Amino acid sequence: MSETNYKEALFLIAKNEIEKIAMQFEKLAEKDFAQTQIIITVFSEDDDVQEILGAAKSKGIVTSTDANILTKVDKSIMGGFILECDEIVWDCSVRKRMLEMQRQLKQNKSAFLCTDNADELRQRLQLQLDDLHFNRSQEETGTVIQIGDGIARVHGLYECMNGELLEFSNGTFGMALNLEEDNVGCVLFSDSKGIVEGSKVKRTFKAMHVPVGSELLGRVLNPLGEPIDGGLPIKTEHFRPIEAKATGVTQRKPVTVPMQTGILTIDSMIPIGRGQRQLIIGDRQTGKTSIAVDAIINQRDTGVLCIYVAIGQKASVVASIVDTLTAHDAMKHTIVVFSASSDAAPLQYIAPYAACAMAEEFMFAQDKDVLVVYDDLSKHAVAYRTMSLLLKRPPGREAFPGDVFYLHSRLLERAARQSDALGGGSITALPIVETLAGDISAYIPTNVISITDGQIFLESELFHEGIRPAINLGLSVSRVGGAAQLKSMKHVAGSLRLELAQYRELQVFSQFGSDLDVSTRERLNHGEKLTAALKQGLYAPLRIEEQIIILYNAKERFLDNIPADEVAAYHKGLIAHFKNNGAELMQCIITADDLSDELLAQMKKLCTAYANVYKASNG
């Protein structure tokens, strides 16, 4: 192509594009200056339309009374009128007032159920009617322009807020997430059946919220706060938005009170404090959920309330967990929030935020300590990715949207310990993240590790070796929990991590030779017994005084002559011996600031006595 022909082609393309742009501006101009249509629905043809228009103009709903006016008569409104202008609906009908009356009387029906006297009932009903407040309802509505895959795009709703709850014409609720120039991207919380292009959507002027309060304890709920355990409906008047600003730095208090999990390895070497965020991470089927369930069971008599959030889990797995908590009398202080793997992605997305809102009610309003388990945030991130891609948000690394870090940081930052001025309540978060082949350097694991105050890393190899809980102490750490650990526990567990690390190194070294000196063999034997002492059964949390006794017994080498496979039975008998002969000593271990020489002498005396009894009975 010659240079002349090339320039002529460019000129023609530019001319064509300019003509297209001009046509678009003409269409926009026609749209902007088109006469607004106002639809007025009245009860009777005798109603004064101009008077209605004047009232609407004074309210700012209508800017001009010269618009194209369409009047309809509808006897079902029972009186009054309904005015529709652009995306605004002003409902001043008697039907609307009757529905409002029904709603308000239903909320206060308890006032009528406490009496059988007809006259008194009539008086109470009259008082309720006199006290009713009728507001002329002004609604902002939009129109569905696209629906599919649980996502609706709505035209209109120009004043809609991000995260606002929206109601569709078939009664389905959704949440606004994408506020674009010409439409709103909305995610649906239930089936889209009955929603088609052209369906009406109205604003609720409320952020997404869930019911909260003590009435929820002992129940299994979906992320909307609705019971799914077959029990009675939940009656609560308290609600909280699922999104909330995290507690500020000046309103927080340092982590100084321990959150005992009942797991010996964690409470001794990876301690957790109330208000901390401690990540539980590892491959699937390594015991992550079991650690969280043990921690919940261990809060039975501590006054700590618990919330277990199952995100994208199988219903059979969650049913088994609920049965376990019930069997251990732990369900009475626990709320289970469950979003199944078959649920829509939006429900899985809001599940942890809904649980956090329930926890904040206990922390802020009741000054309680709460433990929240998020199981697990890997599935939560996948649900958010699914939802974001359907909303056509730009994908980034591993197709996750760019704000996936903020997704979890704004959730976990809400875990805190309140200052005394605010009541001193706390939320402790135990998020769970699943890894693939032990890769903790993947996208979501590194994100959550950088947000939390430490991590408990579970290793598949240790699990298959029979070391359970299968905690890798080299990769596990608690950055703030040490300040909350009891001094008596620090006394017996101070050198434990170092001893185990040295044992691991010697164990690897000893594989290459059989000629070991006496000192090395003793250290290997001691390390083997320490490892056996840290093994713990499923759903069998230990009290803190029992843990201290077990660790002291191992530290003083009372286990060195006990076969490794008998250590669990030995510990069971040792605890029983202390309960029978040293109940006061066990209480002193908890209340004492530190283990004094006198306490240590008494502990050694009882440990020695039991060692002799065990040796005599077992030959």
Distance between CA atoms of residues 336 and 306, nearest Å: 9
Q: What is the pLDDT at residue 31?
A: 43
Please write the tens of the pLDDT for every residue from 393-452: 999 999 999 999 999 999 999 999 999 999 999 999 999 999 999 999 999 999 999 999
Q: What is the pLDDT at residue 28?
A: 46
Which range among 68-72, 197-201, 423-427 shows the weakest confidence by mean pLDDT?
A: 68-72
Distance between CA atoms of residues 284 and 289, nearest Å: 10
CATH assignment, 279-453:
3.40.50.300
Residue 346 has pLDDT above 80, yes or no: yes
Model confidence at 33, in pLDDT bands (50, 70, 90)? very low
* 139 and 86 Cβ atoms separated by less than 8 Å: no
- Decide if domain 491-617 falls under CATH 3.40.50.150: no
Of 332, 323, 373, whose CA–CA distance to 352 is shortest?
373
Q: Which residues form the catalytic set?
A: 479
DSSP class of residue 273 equals: B
Distance between CA atoms of residues 236 and 149, nearest Å: 33
Q: What is the pLDDT at residue 103?
A: 63
* 428 and 370 Cβ atoms separated by less than 8 Å: yes
Question: Which residues are 210's β-sheet partners?
Answer: 240
* 202 and 186 Cβ atoms separated by less than 8 Å: no
Q: What is the pLDDT at residue 423?
A: 93
Which pair of tokens denotes residue 132?
């009713």
Of 570, 446, 548, whose CA–CA distance to 489 is shortest?
548
Q: What is the pLDDT at residue 314?
A: 94
Of 356, 211, 385, whose CA–CA distance to 277 is shortest?
356
Q: How wide is the angle at C-alpha 165 spanned by C-alphas 164 and 170, nearest 5°?
A: 145
Model confidence at 459, in pLDDT bands (50, 70, 90)? very high
Catalogue the E-assigned strands of 22-124. Answer: 37-42, 68-73, 81-85, 88-91
Which range among 136-140, 389-393, 500-504, 513-517 shows the weakest confidence by mean pLDDT?
A: 136-140
Pick the CATH number of 137-209 from 3.40.50.300, 1.10.3080.10, 2.40.30.20, 1.20.1290.10: 2.40.30.20
| Helix H or strand E encompassing 24 | helix 3-33
Of 294, 281, 303, whose CA–CA distance to 375 is shortest?
281
Distance between CA atoms of residues 21 and 23, nearest Å: 5
Q: What would the 3-class secondary structure string for 416-460 be?
A: CEECHHHCCCEEEEEEEEECCCCCCCCHHHHHHHHHCCEEEEECH
Of 486, 458, 556, 475, whose CA–CA distance to 267 is shortest?
486
Helices 443-451, 404-412: axis angle to 10 degrees equals 30
Residue 539 has pLDDT above 70, yes or no: yes
Distance between CA atoms of residues 471 and 265, nearest Å: 8
* 227 and 197 Cβ atoms separated by less than 8 Å: no
Please write the tens of the pLDDT for every residue from 259-310: 999 999 999 999 999 999 999 999 999 999 999 999 999 999 899 999 999 9
CA atoms within 13 A on the CB side of 572: 8
